[in-house]
Structure 1
């Protein structure tokens, strides 16, 4: 099949080009984000490969159907950016990569925790300026802390294992409790109990109408004073305004985020020569106890290899009329 890939970076091209000759597909790479204006680039293709910030609404699915697009292959796990019902009405199938490397994201979440806890980012900058003073670099131990995990899917479970390896007590909340985690010593509680009992809270749940702004003024009020909040899942799980207020009052002691609710026009771009127009993220980055990375938690060689191989396997299955094991269906 001819596949049009949008929001493509150099690392995407490299990972797909390593295996593309084998399945017999061809892929056109476009740097542009997919929207109603750039969709015309996919003319002559039968499938579209899109990423997390490529929003696809009803108008776009109608245009896709007229162009002969029959498949949208997401090279990510999340699919809240797509109008699934509209796609189904146009006869367009949606497939995704449900689990490319849970360990990659879980390890990055813990990297944020360790960096904030031990201030290694500040130490690095000091030493580069030949400043070897350790004044102001006093950190905190991770060992012995209570870690709350919201969501114990594949990534959440990988995170739990890491936390337990550091000697942490792990509490978890999920609508479906995992027996393997229980056997390892993870204790499942209600979300209010997890928020109230944890020194560190890490989010690993999908973005749905029920989880939108899961972390807000009300839920923050339940947390311990000085708690650390980590989000490597979806930006809109966190109400940024509420978190900024909590940072100012020191209710939240540390914040580490790899995602941001308004990241669409910021992340994956070089804005170093521009004035930041988003006042909320600009405000966040003024706090000394906040660490922001630009949606790179997934970015490992292993994860990229899994993303490309699964994406192309999804396309091959569709082309052959086989069962789509990674299909996303509206209402399910």
Structure 2
């Protein structure tokens, strides 16, 4: 039984090959992303395609996969905003994902970005290597007793909340579903406006939907405290980048840490060090001294990759023999 992987990197091959010893699938890895330009390369022997966050599963792509006889689209990620679910449903293609792979990995990376921006350890590292031991320009602030606003308290947001409580922060949260365990731990839930306006640090941990696209825009930024720290390790489309740049220039946003970017499919997961990047927006962002950008790295731990490979292959195996994976894993 054949699986074709798109957007495959060396680490994908390493972890999926290792876990496939228990499954015995025939697996083909393609470095290119899945889109209209390559979908016809899928042959009629392919049972499943395995895709990642920047693969484009448009109606056209899914229709071609159906004509090729593909039975399963397996997302090796949690988000599915890059896929036309209704088309897959109409054409009888099953869609599975990995809804929770080491949420602590993403939460911990968010904290790492916060600490780096605040205490400027990246700048200190470069200074000391040049024998510059001056502290000028490296002033930070205590996290203790600061108010942290968490937008989205699913598994990742919940893990982040717990870490910030450990720093002695006051944690406020907004989510349509209130987590009773977080309430018992001391998290205060409020409206989006209440949470945003009260926070010294705002961290986004919600999925991208049609309703919250560009959630962070000029209006919402206007509710934030002057000098706020804004973190996004969820999806790039939650932020209207041009509005955030304006707020950085005005000094309203004090620090910005992003692991995701709305136009990241043209940039992330690639070595472009020898190229001219034509995206003026990302170039502008990286020019700010108070902005930290990482390339969709937050998920990237051994534990997370082990879980992604195991859950994905097990879901495909179950579907191949007529079994149903757990409801949280299945989208269609």
Q: After the TM superposition, which segments of 4 or more aligned residues of structure 1 sit over 2 Å from their partners? A: none
Structure 1 position 328 matched with structure 2 position 324: no
Name the structure 1 match of 2:260. Answer: 259
Q: Could you report, residue by residue, the CA deviation over 1:99-141 in whole angstroms, capped at 9, with x for unpaired residues?
A: 0110000000000000011000111111122212111111111
Name the structure 2 match of 1:205. Answer: 206
Q: Which runs of 5+ in 2 are unaligned?
A: none
Q: Could you report, residue by residue, the CA deviation over 1:174-210 in whole angstroms, capped at 9, with x for unpaired residues?
A: 0000000000000000000111000000000000011
Three-state SS of the structure 1 residue aligned to 2:86 is: helix
Normalising by structure 1, report the TM-score. Answer: 0.98
How far has the Cα of 1:223 moved from its partner?
0.2
Range 103-112 or range 39-48, more displaced: 39-48
Separation in 2, partners of 1:224, 1:283: 23
Structure 1 position 312 matched with structure 2 position 303: no
Name the structure 2 match of 1:148. Answer: 149
- RMSD between superposed Cα atoms in Å: 0.8
Range 210-219 or range 26-35, more displaced: 26-35
Q: Could you report, residue by residue, the CA deviation over 1:48-81 in whole angstroms, capped at 9, with x for unpaired residues?
A: 0000000111111111111111100000000010
Separation in 2, partners of 1:125, 1:229: 24
The answer to whether the 8 Å contact 2:318/2:325 transfers is yes
Three-state SS of the structure 1 residue aligned to 2:149 is: strand
Name the structure 2 match of 1:102. Answer: 103
The answer to whether the 8 Å contact 2:76/2:308 transfers is yes
Separation in 2, partners of 1:289, 1:300: 26
How far has the Cα of 1:95 moved from its partner?
0.2
Three-state SS of the structure 1 residue aligned to 2:196 is: helix
How far has the Cα of 1:290 moved from its partner?
0.3
Q: Which runs of 5+ in 1 are unaligned?
A: none
Q: Could you report, residue by residue, the CA deviation over 1:25-67 in whole angstroms, capped at 9, with x for unpaired residues?
A: 1211111111112123321311000000001111111111111
Range 223-232 or range 271-280, more displaced: 271-280
Three-state SS of the structure 2 residue aligned to 1:124 is: helix
Count residues with an aligned counterpart. Answer: 329
Name the structure 2 match of 1:17. Answer: 17
Name the structure 2 match of 1:246. Answer: 247
The answer to whether the 8 Å contact 2:40/2:64 transfers is no
